[in-house]
Structure 1
Amino acid sequence: MKKLLFLLLITSISFAQKEIESYQLIDIEKFQGTIYRTDIFPSKYITPRTVDVWLPSNYSKNKKYSVLYMHDGQMLFDPNTTWNKQEWMVDEVVTKLNLENKIEDIIVVAIWNIPDLRYTDLYPKKPFNLLTKSDQEKVQTEAKKVNRSISLKEINSDNYLKFIVKELKPFIDKYYSVYTDAKHTAIMGSSMGGLISMYAICEYPKIFGSAACLSTHWIGVKDFEKNPIPESFFRYMMKKLPNPKNHKIYFDYGTETIDAGYIKYAYRVDEVLQTKGYTTENYKNLKFEGENHSEASWQNRIHIPLEFMFRK
């Protein structure tokens, strides 16, 4: 089991006209590297939340690092912060890949979700706006069946991305030794986090050079007959996918539990990306037999998108 020690940093960092109180997490047993945690990262765009910055154990200000932004940050490093006691084990996987000299040096910025806001923070707004009014009403009806509410007014993903691009990234660029260009900046998530990662690289192609979207939740709300949501995402991607010459995008899906509902859309992902000029060199859409919709399954395969995006 990982044990973490919290130490208050001597210096508070003034940002967005508020004080950020940062806490350093130090490994006692198995933790790989160091995490700097901001319990309440201020924002004018979204509800303030926890942000973790993971640094490798050999982090040095004398060299530059690529940056990976990840969603659902409480699920990435420590089973004690997760709702299901599963984790992605990002620190262990990145450390192993570094030791094997398979990827370039990176740091990981982990944005925690707020459970009650996760859905509206991560659902891409512009694809929803592509739906007809009658289709929006149909989606709203289906959403209520699973105790969710969704409307153009409620969806906050554009502001969530503004938080990352206009507030969080400038902070990271200023206080950590990182490359700031798109080539060295990636974004990654699973399920709804896959959707928002796709949205991020489309909306901000000059910020993000790569995106990894695991078990992307193409069905949007739930699987139902004549669901218009998946096609709204594909229509949006046809319009907005960035230039394949200088961007990479990764998709995958399992075959069990919720992931089984994504299988029928895999061919559309391929069609759209290939139509936009993507090849096996700059996109993946992989099927993982027997894998399900869980952190344990994503942990089994995150080395693949990490190598795809950050390969030396």
Structure 2
Amino acid sequence: MILFHSEKIAHYEICVILPSGYDSTKQYRTIYMHDGGDTAIQCVNYIDHLIISGQIEPLIIIGIEPNDRHDDYTPWAAPSLSPHTPMFGGQAEAYLHTVVTRIKPYIDAHYATNPAPSHTAISGCSFGGLVSIFASYYYPDVFHQYISLSASFWYEDVLRFIQGEQVKRQESTYVKPTVNRENHQLCLYVGELEGIYKDTVQVHMVDYTMKAHHEFIKEGYLEPNLLFEIKCALAYLRPDFIELRSINFL
């Protein structure tokens, strides 16, 4: 049976998901997930099935609930996309510093993890996918696996940054560091229809993701270690059951 533990670390609510048969004498892979680990929680029974059936190895999932995802997951301050709403705060660097220096050490000290970067992943959707990409630049020696789903590459100046241009915001300058990608793995996904009916810069979701993917190839990811998928989500309908779900992420 999968076990759920709640923790409060450095002012963040944390959900720790332990695999069936958790053994404190072993060392497990870990995956740090933004937005409280919602994407894992929604399919936790399937993850349990994959582990029990031997299709994936047991792992520990750490879901981190943001204090404010518009601040925690954005790399620099930028105007909001909607009028009369707060601007984006641009605190990703501070958030990732807390993950690496406060949350991860606590998890490694209190749970049976393998703390090596080769056994440590970070994952998220939309803004969570974006901040996972920035984790690969800021902490490439802490995480070696990255999962970025529908990442917000539309965010102001992000694509320019990934393409190697200097980004100047207020009194700060941001320059993409050179990272050795030899041991890194990246899973990149975007839906083929994402953003097409938006009347904001989000209309470029697919195009910007494709351009980012091209830059990741240039950064030196080995071909087997860079998975990029563009797919259309299909609706499966039964006569006696129709479920419509809307997840309102940026």
Q: Is the TM value for this pair above 0.5?
A: yes
Q: Secondary structure at the match of 1:60?
A: coil
Residue 232 of structure 2 aligns with which residue?
Answer: 289
The letter of the residue matching 2:20 is S
Question: Is residue 2:59 matched to residue 1:106?
Answer: yes
The equivalent position to 1:251 in structure 2, one of 185, 188, 200, is 188
Q: 1:268 to 1:238 in 2, by over 3 A?
A: farther
After superposition, the Cα gap between the structure-2 partners of 1:297 and 1:287, relative to the gap in structure 1 and judged at 3 Å, is farther
Match of 2:24 among 61, 69, 81: 61
Which residue in 1 is equivalent to 2:105? 170
| Equivalent residue for 1:219, pick from 119, 129, 154 | 154
Number of aligned positions between the proteins: 225
Q: Which residue of 2 aligns with 1:149?
A: 87
Cα deviation code 1:77-126 (max 9, x no counterpart): 66xxxxxxxxx32x223212212322222100000123xx211110123x
Matched, 1:93 2:62: no
Could you list the structure 1 runs, at least 4 aligned residues long, displaced by more than 6 angstroms after superposition.
none
Distance 1:229 1:199 in 2: 10
C-alpha spacing 1:234/1:94, structure 2 compared with 1 (3 Å)? farther
Aligned-pair CA distance for 1:167:
0.5
Distance 1:144 1:110, change over 3 A: same
- Which of 144, 153, 160 aligns to 1:231? It is 160
Residue 276 (structure 1) aligns with: 219
Q: Cα distance, 1:229 vs. partner?
A: 4.1
Contact between 1:201 and 1:241, CA under 8 Å: does it hold in 2? no
- Report whether the alignment pairs 1:33 with 2:2: yes
Deviates more, 1:172-181 or 1:230-239: 230-239
Describe the shift of the 1:246–1:93 C-alpha distance in structure 2 as closer, same or farther (beyond 3 A): same
CA distance in 2, matches of 1:251, 1:146: 32
Q: Which runs of 5+ in 1 are unaligned?
A: 1-31, 79-87, 129-138, 221-226, 299-312
Report the secondary structure of 1:69's partner residue.
strand
Q: Of residues 157, 170, 177 in structure 2, which corresponds to 1:240?
A: 177
Query: CA offset at residue 268 of structure 1?
Result: 1.2
- Cα distance 1:77–1:247, how it changes in 2: closer, same or farther (>3 A)? closer
Compute the displacement of 1:238 (Å).
8.9
Q: Where does structure 2 lack aligned partners over 5 or more consecutive residues? A: 166-173, 197-202, 236-244
Is the aligned partner of 1:263 residue 2:206? yes
Is 1:195 the counterpart of 2:135 in the alignment? no
**How many angstroms apart in 1 are the aligned matches of 2:141 and 2:101?**
13
Change (3 A) 1:279 1:77: closer
Q: TM-score, normalised by structure 2?
A: 0.79
Residue type matched to 1:157 in 2? Answer: A
Amino acid at match of 2:177: K
Matched residues in 1 for 2:94 and 2:175: separation? 23
CA distance in 2, matches of 1:183, 1:74: 21
Q: 1:297 to 1:263 in 2, by over 3 A?
A: farther
What is the CA–CA distance in structure 1 between the aligned matches of 2:234 and 2:160, rounded to whole Å? 24
1:247 Cα deviation from its structure 2 partner: 0.7
TM-score with structure 1 setting the length: 0.65
Alpha-carbon separation, structure 1, partners of 2:212 and 2:234? 19
Query: How many angstroms apart in 2 are the aligned matches of 1:207 and 1:68?
Result: 12
Q: CA RMSD in A?
A: 2.8
Percent identical: 24
- Give the one of 96, 108, 112 matched to 1:161: 96
